[in-house]
């Protein structure tokens, strides 16, 4: 449980309205009063995730302390034996107080009431009266607190009110209503303190103080949507939800982000809606508090990426060789194909396959003698090592700080797992030493090198640059002083990505990292361990259920007669048509039909995460539940159910009726999942800081976690060092260049493309190369270039930049219509047309 | 036009950057330099200062917007500040301001003469109330020809527009920073 | 009769004392020299013993402030508050213009006593002329070895820098000043930590912030001794004070007089009394921010000091006396001063940001004759609600002109509200 009290915490006694409480020394008074006394001191500017600023003055209380004799330090007593309390003559802001022994506060006096009432009156003098049409109406801290503490009448003349811009775009995604803004600076502070990208600020002063951005590009971070949750009024709204629904019409359904290994806890705000044929649909995605995972933040991709679940392009009924069939027909065809396979069947499961889906598929495979279970996409490996030297249960990235260290190697974490980037960046702010190693500049390297003193704290970091593909060598030859600091850190977290590495190369890197953690004594230590930005939401779950990327590699080399793909877009591999041509029958369980598949193809429509129950196991081995939120698309079924039906036809037993029953099956058969029944996974706990409760001021009603905080799979003990096989590096001959695939959070993946709001911000296809490589190739910045590899090619814009090392061209995946390499390979580059002069 | 790489400013920029342990602290002096170059804090000015101080351009704009002496829109070549705050107003500051507007054919705060030579603003106390009513040109309290700007009233207590005009004339033919 | 006594405005007696050689010929930098030969703690003790109090308005004992600086912190700073933006205040300007070396010397004595790494003089942007004088004086002093590296051959080194503000009264508030100097918005900080504490000062390092006039007194204290200084003035207000007199008097200007001089002596004997044919009506003894008082005999006979002005319900503050005669409508005064605070509110905290705006709007209507007596009571109440709720003292200052003008000159307000109409309140 995440509480303010830890083993080592020293407790002090404070007195709130006459009652004594024992609270951790140094805690924030507002937080402590709430947690220990259930006393909701109203706030606007204060937010427990950010430094207090004392701006709004709403939190005023009477503050005093036990009087002590100056000379002796002894407590002074009244005649009746009670201690003498020295009260401040003026009200004091609670949010700026850290508790100390002998602190006295009063929150229920007339003076305090009058202060709160005055602050509210002042705030409302210039606030517009448009609550009935405001997106925040119904869940608005200002509205709520006015009901509780306001005096109900306004003494401000209407004609004296200030009028300001009501529809100001702060970027493509976030709108600002300047009349509603109460200048609490939460959005500015969020960008500055939490994200580390200070693209928001105040402009002018006094009553004309207003939020601006003047950065290029504007308010364009991957976390911008969080500002709309923490905005205590309706001043900030997302382009996605603006005027979308009234908060009180919405039903909150707990869910899990399907995009990446972080497993962000979310709440799907749903409503029965005409726009979705009268079915229940997602109107917005909100963060749900899980202090172990995402605290109260989510990435914009998670927030805005839900549109694919209702896309018209979803596969809505089964297809056999391109023509629509009933489920019965299609399943019979599938069963026949499997029967005729002689056990030469392989399966590949991808990013959004749940534990239940993967389990049923694995069972099906076992029943028919298929042995190879692969993961998609086969770019990263090391799940087995995460199971051994990952962060042990009870760890929390929020615990990292002074004395600790973080190494991020071969990963563009901002693009791969934005939530980890957010939380590790904050670890750095709290004092952790951050090392970023890559062959090109990434956002995280910015933080590691461009260190500055943030509000009195020294931020420390180092950058390690290596030649393309040389991550293993870089890890082996870490600078002594850096290696020493990492080894000697109290806690050490290492993120080992796969950028520039083949699967073998990545295997070598994660093993090397595991060895390092074992050597330094960090393996198995709380708050220390290995993280791998494995693709998809459930890569760790797939691992525990027997799937490996190495199997995928093998399947690609030696294709089976029958291939089952489960949410695995194998056509993303530019070489797919080659190896798939050797497969007789492809059974594709998918949300989007793949038109490029040829031969015998059965495509079965499966449900997205939003339409069904299920669980994902995140990159920290936390098994988390998502719940049915949205009406189904066409005839789509949960994948586990479709597979169970096939199993029933094949005589493998009666199909289970619910995802819960499937999970029960898993818990009985797979040791890692022992005890992880749905009921246990759905258990909630009180979390510190308490932002999801019944209070009226933290804003964003969705924080409350009603769906469970999940359970972590324990580490497998006995981690041992292993020899590292030097990987075969990708080398280029003289007329070729190494192509290093990279990841972009915003891309043209079929599942993200339906999020039209964000599509304008998806980069046009490009590739980065160094000025010297560009010169050798006769390429200039902005030229159109054709990159060829094998029989394939793509045309992209050349981005000539000294942010990348020489010796490779960096080609982001999933930006262009044509498939680009999944793993590093070699190819040629030619200029097709010159840059258009602007 | 540029500040970065402009020899005219290199020494001053270096001096300011070296004064503080943190480059960000130089944002105010460098905004003055950029304003000197561009006449007001243009988008280019913001980006150049941001680069020099290693700040986000949004933060530079925020600074420029907070203080009144940075100009965020184009204005005349010479800036006339007339104090209309209490101490001056008790001694005719408001009248001085209105007379100057009238003399230059202007009609509001921040207005600029048609020939672009003067912009006039009424301002808060300038810390020279002993000389009330008083004014500043280009943030200066005096010039070589007219000495300290004081005694802007006649013996009879009327605003001495002749003297005021001499002050304006002094600047008319000059550059702002001389 | 009291005499002007020039500890600070020595330029009035010694021509060209702004030049280094004239300054040194007249005992300049002897105080610094003496200090450097002393133990740091002894310097602080001497300043403590002198009874010197801060001239920036709050009157905090200067030596005590210096003694709060933790000696074991490696980096510390001195910041000179030369923002002087209070309406009616122009004393620091004259010191810096005519006697800049005395300020530099005083701040270096402070720097020595607390072990500061540098002195930053934060001067308001409109004092561009004065900043030039200071820069020149600093260059001369540095060249002559009185500032910069190894001052006067000792191992004490301390550069002095000038930082120009850019038009913001709030930057005179010490924590806003520090933010401004750091290149951040000039808004006040939450305290504690205070500037003298680790985490609260310039770049988070312990920092002394002192007013120009405060520091300019220090060389005298070093050379003449604490006792000589304490002998001047009153029991709790030692030394001389520069009184800035402006408004409706015959001879406005700065007058350096011992604390304890009466308002009458200052306003009649030095400032020449009211203009011919007029009578005094009201006085703002501490610029726009202190409570206004009717200028009657009781006030005139009051001594000017930190301890005496409480009896007439006001403060001496920065001693910026704005005098109003019988031609002045105090409602107009309230409106002028409120405009000032509305213009200068930094906007960081709710009561001041919203309150100054609201008060200004209503006063506009009162001045335009479209308000009612209820509006007068309303702004009185709004101003009282602001007090005690704001983050810094500007919000308190902003409430003063309303509360005290209405209290002392209600009849002036009533003249404006006959015939006004009650408007519709928003949200009713
Ligand atoms: C709104 C506001 C404005 C202030 N302006 C000034 C100023 O212009 N000059 C000054 O010396 N002190 C000013 N002060 C006081 C400073 O905060 C601080 O108390 C002073 O510089 C301390 O120096 P001292 O101890 O030498 O007086 C101001 C305070 C407030 C609240
Ligand atoms: S009282 Fe006024 S000036 Fe002071 S912090 Fe609040 S808004 Fe800013
Ligand atoms: S001042 Fe404490 S919550 Fe805003």
Cβ–Cβ below 8 Å for A206 and C342: yes
Residue A788: C-alpha distances to residues A736, A826, A832, C234, C389 (Å): 10, 9, 12, 91, 68
The tens digit of pLDDT for each residue in C261-319 reads 999 999 999 999 999 999 999 999 999 999 999 999 999 999 999 999 999 999 999 99
CB pair distance less than 8 Å for C322 and B140: no
What's the CA-to-centroid distance between C316 and ligand 1, angstroms?
13
Report the length, in residues, of chain B: 178
Question: Cα-atom radius of gyration of chain B, to the nearest Å?
Answer: 18
Mean per-residue pLDDT, C414-421: 83
Phi/psi for C25 (5° steps) reads -60, -25
Q: Distance between CA B27 and CA A453 in Å, rounded?
A: 17
A-chain CB neighbours of B54 within 8 Å are 450
Pocket (CB within 6 angstroms of ligand 1): C 54-58, 60, 81, 83-86, 170, 172-174, 209-211, 214, 392-394
Q: Least CA distance to B70: which residue of chain A?
A: A204
Whole-number Å distance, alpha carbon A264 to ligand 3 midpoint, is 29
C125: chain B residues, CB-CB within 8 Å: 67, 69, 139
Confidence of residue C46 (pLDDT cuts 50, 70, 90): very high
- A812 touches A766 (CB < 8 A): yes
Which residues of chain C have a CB within 8 Å of the CB of A153? 425, 427-428
Residues contacting B43, CB < 8 A, separation 6+: none
Q: Is the ipTM of this complex over 0.90?
A: yes
pLDDT tens-place string over residues C332-374: 999 999 999 999 999 999 999 999 999 999 999 999 999 999 9
pLDDT of residue A644: 98
Q: Which residues of A touch B56 (CB under 8 A)?
A: 197-199, 215
What three-state secondary structure class fits A643?
helix
**Which of C93, C203, C246 is the closest to B21 by Cβ?**
C203
Helix, strand, coil shares of chain B as percentages rounded to 5?
Answer: 45, 15, 40
> What pLDDT score does A454 carry?
45
Pick from C84, C168, C252: CB nearest B67 = C168
Using one digit for the tens of pLDDT, what is the confidence trace for A83-124? Answer: 999 999 999 999 999 999 999 999 999 999 999 999 999 999
Minimum Cα–Cα distance from B71: chain A residue: A204
How would residue A139 be classed by pLDDT, with cut points 50, 70 and 90? confident
In this structure, the number of other CB atoms found within 10 A of the CB of residue B73 comes to 9
Q: In this complex, which of A204, A205, A212 lies closest to B58 when CB atoms are compared? A: A212
CA distances from residue C418 to A545, B105, C339, C369, C373 in whole angstroms, order as listed? 86, 36, 23, 7, 8
What does the pLDDT average to over A184-211?
95
Query: What is the per-residue pLDDT for A38?
Result: 94
> Could you give the CA distance from residue C17 to residue B22 in angstroms, rounded to a whole number?
35
Atom of ligand 3 nearest to the CA of A94: 2
> Which chains does chain C touch, 3 or more C-beta pairs < 8 A?
A, B
Quote the strand ranges of B24-138, DSSP E. 78-83, 111-112, 118-123, 135-137
Q: Mutate which of A114, A118, A126, A153 to disrupt the C interface (most C C-beta within 10 Å)?
A: A118
The predicted structure's pLDDT at residue A158: 81
Is C343 in contact with B29 (Cβ distance < 8 A)? no
pLDDT at A452 over 60: no
Question: In the numeric block, which tokens belong to residue A398?
Answer: 């929020």
Whole-prediction pTM: 0.96
Would you call B124 and C344 a contact, using CB atoms and an 8 Å cutoff? yes
Closest residue, chain B, to C253 (C-alpha): B130
Cα-to-chain-centroid distance, residue B148? 17
Q: Which residue of B has its CA nearest to A218?
A: B58
User: Nearest Cα to C355, choosing from A142, A125, B86?
Assistant: A125
Other beta carbons within 10 angstroms of residue A640's beta carbon come to 32
* Centroid of ligand 2 to alpha carbon of A728 (angstroms): 64
From the CA of A197, how far away is ligand 3's center (Å)? 24
Q: How confident is the model over A539-550, as pLDDT tens digits?
A: 999 999 999 999
- Using DSSP, state whether C6 is helix, strand or coil: coil
Q: Which pLDDT belongs to residue A701? A: 64
Q: What is the Å distance from ligand 3's center to A92 Cα? A: 10
Of the residues B12, B65, B130, the best mutation for testing chain C's interface (the one with the most C CB atoms within 10 Å of its CB) is: B130
Q: Which residue of A has its CA nearest to B57?
A: A215
Q: What is the DSSP letter of C171?
A: G
Residues C163, B19: C-beta atoms closer than 8 Å: yes
Nearest listed ligand to the Cα of residue C187: 2
Nearest chain A residue to C348 by CA: give it: A55
Average pLDDT, chain C: 96
Q: Using an 8 Å Cβ cutoff, are A25 and A100 in contact?
A: yes
What DSSP line would sit under A249-304, residue for residue?
Answer: G-EEEEEE-SSSTT--EEEEEEEEEGGGTTEEEEEEEEE--BTTTTBT---HHHHH
Q: pLDDT tens digit string along A270-323?
A: 999 999 999 999 999 999 999 999 999 999 999 999 999 999 999 999 999 999
Q: How far is the CA of C4 from the centre of ligand 1 (A)?
A: 25
Give B172's pLDDT tier (boundaries 50, 70, 90). very high
**Of B9, B25, B8, which is closest to residue B17 (Cα–Cα)?**
B25
Pocket test for ligand 3, best of A29, A32, A43, A695 (most atoms within 8 A of CB): A43
The span from the CA of C58 to the CA of A327, in Å, is 84
Q: How confident is the model at residue C428 (pLDDT cuts 50, 70, 90)?
A: very low
- Does ligand 3 come within 6 angstroms of the Cβ of A649? no
Distance in Å, alpha carbon of B75 to nearest chain C alpha carbon? 17
CA A310 to chain centre: 22
Q: What is the pLDDT of residue C426?
A: 57
Question: A170 to chain B: which residues are within 8 Å by CB?
Answer: none
A204 interfacial to chain C (CB closer than 8 Å): yes
Structure-block tokens of residue A713: 């799979």
For the stretch A363-396, pLDDT in tens is 999 999 999 999 999 999 999 999 999 999 999 9
Q: Give the DSSP letter string of A513-576.
A: HHHHHHHTT-TT-TT-EEE---SSS-HHHHHHTT-BHHHHHHHHHS--SEEEEES--GGGSTTH
Angle in degrees, 0-180, between the axes of helices B93-104 and B161-172, rounded to the nearest 10: 50
Interface test with B, best of C85, C205, C246, C328 (most B CBs within 10 A): C246
Residues in chain A with CB shorter than 8 Å from the CB of C382 are: 155
Mutate to test the interface with A, among C346, C349, C396 (most CBs of A within 10 A): C349
pLDDT reported for residue B130:
96
What pLDDT digit, counting tens, does each position of A503-528 carry? 999 999 999 999 999 999 999 999 99
Exposed, middle or buried by CB within 10 Å (0-12, 13-18, 19+), for B124? buried
- In chain C, the residue whose alpha carbon lies closest to the alpha carbon of A94 is C190
For ligand 1, atom 28, which residue shows the shortest CA distance?
C173
Minimum mean pLDDT among A36-45, A828-837, C87-96: which range?
A828-837
- The 10s digit of each residue's pLDDT in A619-668 is 999 999 999 999 999 999 999 999 999 999 999 999 999 999 999 999 99
CB–CB contact A55 C348 (8 Å): yes
Convert the pLDDT of each residue in A217-231 to its tens digit.
Answer: 778 899 999 999 999
Ligand nearest to the CA of C288: 1
Question: For residues A404-434, b (16+ Cβ closer than 10 Å) or e, as one string?
Answer: bbbbbbbbbbbbbbbbbbbbbbbbbbbebbb
For the cut 80, the answer to whether the pLDDT of residue C1 exceeds it is no
Query: pLDDT band at residue A574, thresholds of 50, 70 and 90?
Result: very high
Angle in degrees, CA C249, C252, C254, rounded to 5: 140
Nearest CA, atom 22, ligand 1: C210
Examine the pLDDT at A734 and tell me if it is beyond 90.
no
Please say whether the beta carbons of C282 and C325 come within 8 A: no
What confidence score (pLDDT) does residue A837 get? Answer: 60
Which residue has the CA at smallest separation from atom 4 of ligand 2?
C392
Contacts of A276 (CB under 8 A, 6+ apart): A310, A630, A631
**Which two structure tokens, joined as six digits, stand for A58?**
């709403």
Torsions phi, psi for A277 (to 5 deg) = 60, 30
Give me C161's structure tokens: 């820098």
Segment C35-56 shows an average pLDDT of 98
Contact with chain C for residue A549, Cβ under 8 A: no
Q: Which parts of C37-173 are beta strand (E)?
A: 77-82, 118-123, 160-164
Distance C309 CA to ligand 1 centre (A): 19
Answer yes or no: are the C-beta atoms of B159 and B152 closer than 8 Å.
yes
Query: Is pLDDT above 50 for A417?
Result: yes
What is the distance in angstroms between the Cα of A212 and the nearest Cα belonging to chain C? 14
Peptide bond into B165 cis (omega under 30): no
Name the interface residues of B facing C (CB cutoff 8 Å).
19-29, 31-32, 53, 55, 62-63, 66-70, 81, 85-87, 89-91, 123-130, 132, 136, 139-142
Residues of B in contact with C204 (CB under 8 A): none
pLDDT of residue A220: 81
Of B19, B124, B142, the CB nearest to C129: B142
The β-bridge relationship of strands A372-375 and A92-93 is unpaired
Question: Tokens representing C181?
Answer: 């100097």
B-chain residues near C86 (CB < 8 A): 125
As a 3-state breakdown, chain C gives helix, strand, coil percent values, each rounded to 5, of 45, 15, 40
Instruction: State the DSSP code for A833.
Output: E
């Amino acid at each position: 449980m995440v509480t303010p009290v830890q083993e080592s915490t020293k407790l002090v006694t404070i007195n709130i309205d006459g009652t004594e409480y024992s609270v951790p020394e140094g805690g924030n008074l507002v937080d402590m009063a709430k947690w220990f006394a259930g006393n909701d001191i109203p706030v606007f500017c204060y937010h427990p995730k950010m430094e207090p600023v004392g701006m709004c003055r709403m939190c005023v209380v009477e503050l005093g302390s036990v009087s002590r004799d100056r000379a002796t330090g002894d407590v002074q007593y009244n005649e009746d034996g009670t201690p003498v309390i020295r009260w401040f003559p003026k009200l004091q802001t609670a949010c700026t107080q850290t508790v100390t022994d002998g602190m006295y506060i009063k929150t229920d006096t007339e003076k305090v009431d009058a202060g709160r009432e005055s602050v509210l009156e002042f705030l409302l003098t210039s606030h517009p009266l448009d609550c009935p049409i405001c997106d925040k109406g119904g869940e608005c801290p200002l509205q709520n607190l006015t009901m509780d503490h306001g005096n109900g009448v306004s003494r401000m003349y209407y004609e004296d009110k200030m009028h300001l811009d009501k529809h100001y775009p702060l970027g493509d995604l976030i709108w600002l209503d300047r009349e509603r803004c109460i200048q609490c600076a939460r959005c500015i502070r969020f960008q500055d303190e939490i994200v580390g990208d200070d693209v928001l600020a105040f402009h002018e002063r006094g009553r004309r103080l207003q939020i601006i951005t003047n950065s290029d590009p504007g308010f364009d971070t991957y976390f911008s949507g969080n500002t709309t949750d923490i905005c205590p009024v309706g001043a900030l709204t997302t382009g996605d939800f603006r005027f979308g629904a009234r908060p009180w019409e919405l039903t909150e359904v707990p869910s899990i982000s399907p995009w990446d290994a972080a497993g962000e806890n979310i709440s799907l705000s749903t409503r029965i809606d005409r726009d979705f044929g009268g079915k229940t649909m997602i109107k917005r995605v909100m963060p749900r508090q899980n202090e172990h995972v995402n605290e109260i933040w989510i990435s914009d991709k998670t927030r805005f990426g839900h549109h694919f679940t209702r896309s018209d392009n979803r596969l809505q009924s089964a297809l056999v060789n391109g023509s629509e069939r009933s489920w019965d027909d299609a399943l019979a065809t599938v069963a026949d194909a499997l029967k005729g396979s002689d056990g030469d069947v392989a399966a590949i499961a991808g990013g959004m396959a749940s534990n239940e889906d993967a389990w049923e598929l694995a069972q099906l495979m076992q029943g028919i003698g298929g042995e190879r279970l692969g993961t998609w996409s086969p770019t990263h490996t090391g799940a087995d090592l995460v199971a051994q030297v990952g962060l042990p249960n009870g760890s929390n990235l929020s615990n990292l700080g002074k004395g600790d260290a973080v190494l991020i190697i071969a990963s563009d974490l901002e693009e791969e797992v934005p939530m980890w980037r957010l939380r590790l960046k904050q670890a750095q702010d709290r004092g952790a030493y951050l090392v970023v190693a890559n062959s090109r500049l990434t956002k995280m390297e910015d933080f590691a090198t461009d260190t500055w003193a943030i509000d009195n704290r020294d931020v420390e970091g180092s950058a390690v640059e290596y030649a393309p593909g040389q991550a293993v060598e870089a890890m082996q030859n870490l600078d002594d002083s850096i290696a020493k600091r990492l080894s000697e850190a109290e806690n050490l977290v290492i993120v080992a990505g796969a950028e520039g590495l083949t699967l073998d190369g990545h295997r070598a890197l994660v093993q090397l990292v595991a060895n390092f953690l074992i050597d330094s004594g960090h393996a198995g230590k709380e708050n220390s361990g290995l993280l791998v930005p494995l693709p998809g939401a459930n890569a760790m779950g797939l691992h525990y259920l027997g799937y490996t990327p190495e199997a995928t590699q093998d399947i690609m080399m030696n294709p089976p007669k029958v291939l089952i793909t489960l949410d695995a877009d194998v056509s993303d591999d530019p070489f797919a048509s080659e190896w798939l041509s050797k497969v007789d029958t492809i059974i594709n369980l998918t949300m989007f039909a793949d038109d490029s598949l040829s031969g015998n193809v059965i495509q079965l429509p499966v449900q997205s995460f939003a339409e069904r129950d299920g669980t994902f196991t995140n990159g920290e081995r936390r098994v988390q539940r998502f719940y049915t939120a949205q009406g189904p698309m066409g005839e789509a079924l949960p994948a586990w159910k479709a597979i169970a039906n096939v199993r029933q036809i094949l005589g493998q037993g009666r199909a289970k009726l619910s995802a819960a029953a499937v999970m029960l099956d898993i818990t009985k058969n797979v040791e890692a999942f022992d005890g992880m029944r749905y009921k246990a996974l759905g258990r909630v706990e009180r979390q510190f800081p308490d932002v999801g409760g019944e209070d009226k001021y933290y804003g964003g009603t969705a924080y409350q976690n009603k769906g469970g905080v999940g359970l972590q799979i324990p580490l497998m003990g006995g981690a041992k060092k292993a020899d590292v096989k030097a990987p075969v590096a990708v080398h280029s001959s003289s007329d070729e260049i190494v192509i290093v695939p990279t990841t972009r959070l915003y891309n043209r993946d079929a599942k993200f493309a339906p999020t039209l709001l964000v599509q304008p911000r998806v980069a046009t296809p490009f590739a980065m190369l160094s000025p010297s490589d560009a010169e050798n190739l006769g390429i200039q910045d902005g030229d159109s270039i054709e990159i060829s590899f094998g029989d394939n090619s793509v045309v992209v814009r050349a981005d000539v930049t000294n942010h990348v090392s020489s010796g490779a061209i960096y080609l982001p995946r999933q930006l262009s219509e044509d498939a680009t390499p999944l793993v590093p390979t070699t190819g040629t580059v030619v200029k097709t047309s010159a840059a258009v002069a602007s | 036009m540029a500040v970065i790489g402009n020899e005219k400013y290199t020494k001053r920029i270096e001096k300011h950057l070296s004064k503080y342990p943190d480059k960000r602290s130089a944002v105010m002096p460098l905004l003055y330099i950029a304003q000197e170059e561009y006449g007001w804090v243009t988008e280019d000015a913001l980006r150049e200062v941001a680069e020099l101080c290693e700040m986000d351009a949004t933060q530079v704009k925020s600074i420029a917007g907070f203080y009144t002496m940075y100009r965020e829109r184009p204005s005349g070549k010479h800036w006339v500040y007339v104090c209309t705050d209490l101490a001056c107003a008790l001694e005719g500051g408001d009248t001085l301001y209105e007379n100057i507007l009238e003399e230059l054919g202007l009609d509001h705060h921040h207005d600029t003469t048609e020939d672009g030579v003067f912009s006039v603003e009424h301002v808060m106390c300038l810390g020279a109330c002993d000389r009330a009513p008083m004014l500043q040109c280009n943030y200066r309290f005096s010039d070589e020809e007219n000495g300290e700007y004081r005694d802007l009233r006649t013996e009879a207590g009327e605003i001495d527009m002749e003297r005021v005009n001499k002050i304006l004339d002094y600047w008319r033919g000059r550059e702002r920073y001389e | 009769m009291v005499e002007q006594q020039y500890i600070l405005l020595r330029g009035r007696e010694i021509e060209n004392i702004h030049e280094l050689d004239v300054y040194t010929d007249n005992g300049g930098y002897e105080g610094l020299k003496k200090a450097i030969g002393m133990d740091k703690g002894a310097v602080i003790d001497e300043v403590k013993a002198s009874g010197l109090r801060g001239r920036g308005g709050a009157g905090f004992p200067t030596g005590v402030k210096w003694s709060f600086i933790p000696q074991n912190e490696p980096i510390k700073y001195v910041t000179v508050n030369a923002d002087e933006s209070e309406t009616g205040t122009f004393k620091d300007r004259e010191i810096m213009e005519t006697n800049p070396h005395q300020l530099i010397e005083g701040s270096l004595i402070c720097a020595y006593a607390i072990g500061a790494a540098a002195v930053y003089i934060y001067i308001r942007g409109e004092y561009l002329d004065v900043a030039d004088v200071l820069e020149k004086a600093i260059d001369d002093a540095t060249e002559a070895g009185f500032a910069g590296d190894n001052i006067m051959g000792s191992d004490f080194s301390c550069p002095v820098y000038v930082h120009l503000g850019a038009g913001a009264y709030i930057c005179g508030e010490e924590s806003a000043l520090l933010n401004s100097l750091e290149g951040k918005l000039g808004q006040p900080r939450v305290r504690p930590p205070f500037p003298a504490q680790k985490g609260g000062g310039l770049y988070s390092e312990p920092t002394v912030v002192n007013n120009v006039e405060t520091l300019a007194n220090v060389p005298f204290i070093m050379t003449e001794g604490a006792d000589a200084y304490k002998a001047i003035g009153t029991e709790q207000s030692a030394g001389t004070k520069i009184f800035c007199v402006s408004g409706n008097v015959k001879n406005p200007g700065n007058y350096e007089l011992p604390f304890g001089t009466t308002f009458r002596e200052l306003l009649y004997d030095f400032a020449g009394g009211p203009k011919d044919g007029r009578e005094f009506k009201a006085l703002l003894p501490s610029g726009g921010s202190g409570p206004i008082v009717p200028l009657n005999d009781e006030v005139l006979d009051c001594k000017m000091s930190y301890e005496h002005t409480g009896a007439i319900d006001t403060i001496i503050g920065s001693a910026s006396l704005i005098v109003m005669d019988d031609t002045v409508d105090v409602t107009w005064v309230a409106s002028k001063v409120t405009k000032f605070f509305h213009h200068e509110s930094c906007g960081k905290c709710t009561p001041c940001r919203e309150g100054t705006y609201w008060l200004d709007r209503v006063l506009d209507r009162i001045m335009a004759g479209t308000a009612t007596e209820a509006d007068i009571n309303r702004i009185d109440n709004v101003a009282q609600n602001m007090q005690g709720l704001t983050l810094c003292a500007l919000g308190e200052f902003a409430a003063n002109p309303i509360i005290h003008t209405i209290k002392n000159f209600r009849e002036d307000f009533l003249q404006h509200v006959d015939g006004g109409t009650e408007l519709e309140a928003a949200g009713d």
